[in-house]
Structure 1
Amino acid sequence: MEALSPQTLFTGQQLVWLPECGSTNTEAQQLVVQNRATDGCCVITDNQTAGRGQRGNQWEAAAGENLTLSVVWKPAFLPAADQFLLSQAVALAVHDWLTALLGPSPQLRVKWPNDIFYGNQKLGGILIENTLSGAKIQHSIVGIGININQQQFAVSTATSLARITGRSYERAAVTARLLEHLERRYLQLRAGRIGALRTEYLRVLYRFQEEHEYEADGQLFRGQIVGVDEAGRLAVAVRDQLRYFDLKEIRYRP
């Protein structure tokens, strides 16, 4: 990948490019442990061979065709109890970036907690791993994988920018713009503008205030996503009851 030149204060100013690695999150974590990662350090690779996703799933992407990176931040200002705010800020940053590339579209949504969907197909995913020190976040590793130029997928539920638009993308240029959007939302969070973050997150949330089928505890039920609480749990209205779910407690049905 060509050199990146993001117009940022710190995000991506330290850039570590690896032709291939198991996981950019793992590589970023090692840099942190070795005290070699500045605030905003970005690890990026052309080929991630053992990427991790939510629920412990593996994230697969064709070599040299997509965007796979991890950013190290040190959000000491953010209490550990509010760490889902960081997840919301990152998801919104990716949504901002994709909106700039695709134009505004009701098809582009954030699927709770922070997968990126276009229609009913997955365009990308985010995995944030926080290291806590008491009631504070010591550092966060923000892993992002977005399908850019890949055309063929093993599953029908995946898509890419190229498949959506019919064109290919210069990955270095779009990656630099992503780092700029990430820093903008991170600075919004650091400035304490959390009300706006929460409101905007709900505005782009997949299936928000729509009736759909879900599965929990082996039972199918119909419900309506009505919000996300401060701990990051999904709030679903089921008949006259409001139920809250953590990440591994609920599954979306088609």
Structure 2
Amino acid sequence: MYKIYPKTLFLGQIIQYLPSCQSTNDEASALIAHADPSEGTLVITDNQTAGRGQRGNQWEAKTGQNLTVSAILRPTFLSASEQFWLNIALSLGIYDTLHPLIGDSLRIKWPNDIYVGNQKLGGILIENILHGYNIEWSIVGMGLNINQTEFGYTTATSLQLQSPLPNAYDLPGILSRLCETLEQRYIQLRSGQRDSLKINYLQILYRYQEEHSFESEGQLFRGTIVGVDTTGRLAIAVDGQVRYFGFKEVSFIM
């Protein structure tokens, strides 16, 4: 059971804890459909049996060792075409919690993964419910590897692997801090501070302003990430021209 006391106005003030579930995002969706939850409600579990990642990938997490949580938000101030601003703000919120523990090797990998070096420590899956042209509800699913030290993939890492403690990290304590930093960034977005959010995002964007290899439609190419447009497309300079790619249109070559 998670008992936390974050210094927030709304995020994390109400928690629905489930010892096990298929997906916290699915449980949050059911709450929206049937219970009209308060903004900032969290759904958290120790054992997510069918967690989803970006591009439909499975999310690997051992029971009770990591943070698997979904936050329910109501960003009605955003239109459907502006939804990537939520990714920017909340990715920064996660960064704000982890950076003091990990340091400058921490990066946000477009569109919304958390990386240390070339290894993935966590990710976000945001699912929006629209009302007309605006977002009515957002379900922000977050998976963060905290205490787990063994993974089936060499590309995965955790807080404990990157910054070891003699004993395990306190999950409720990290969650409480996470609620605070997420809310701060969300309020920053809600108050219209988009320029500063964008600057902060680009400063810590994985491989920003570096030439690397990418793949799109089966073709390999070299390019340099030069930004992200207002709809969330990744801007890559290729042979003197800037090309724009949506979420499933380009892959990073490690």
Matched, 1:151 2:149: yes
Instruction: Give me the CA root mean square deviation.
Output: 0.8
Question: Which residues of 2 match residues 177-196 of structure 1 at below 5 A?
Answer: 177-196=177-196
Residue type of the alignment partner of 2:249: E
SS at match of 1:220: strand
2-side partners of 1:16 and 1:6: how far apart? 15
Q: Look up the match of 1:68.
A: 68
- Counterpart in the other structure of 2:209: 209
Q: Percent identity?
A: 54
Report the Cα offset of residue 77 of structure 1.
1.1
Deviations 1:28-78 (A, max 9, x none): 000000134111110010010000100011111000000000000011111
Structure 2: distance between partners of 1:73 and 1:50: 22
1:98 is aligned to 98
Structure 1, unmatched stretches of 5+, are none
Amino acid at match of 1:151: T
Match of 1:142 in 2: 140
SS for the counterpart of 1:202 is: helix
Cα separation, 2, equivalents of 1:187 and 1:170: 26
Aligned to 2:123: 125
Q: Aligned residue for 2:29?
A: 29
**Matched residues in 1 for 2:194 and 2:40: separation?**
21
Give the partner amino acid of 2:89: A
Gapped regions of structure 2 (runs ≥ 5): none
The amino acid across from 2:120 in the alignment is: K
Deviation beyond 6 Å, 4+ runs, structure 1: none
2:35 counterpart SS class: coil
The C-alpha deviation readout for 1:194-248, integer Å capped at 9, x for no partner, is 0011111100100000000000010000000000000000000001111000011
Normalising by structure 2, report the TM-score.
0.98
| Distance in 2, Cα, partners of 1:165 & 1:116 | 15
Query: C-alpha distance in 2, partners of 1:101/1:182?
Result: 16
Distance in structure 2 (CA, Å) of the matches to 1:138 and 1:191: 17
Structure 1 partner of 2:176: 176
Partner of 2:238: 238
The total of aligned residue pairs comes to 252
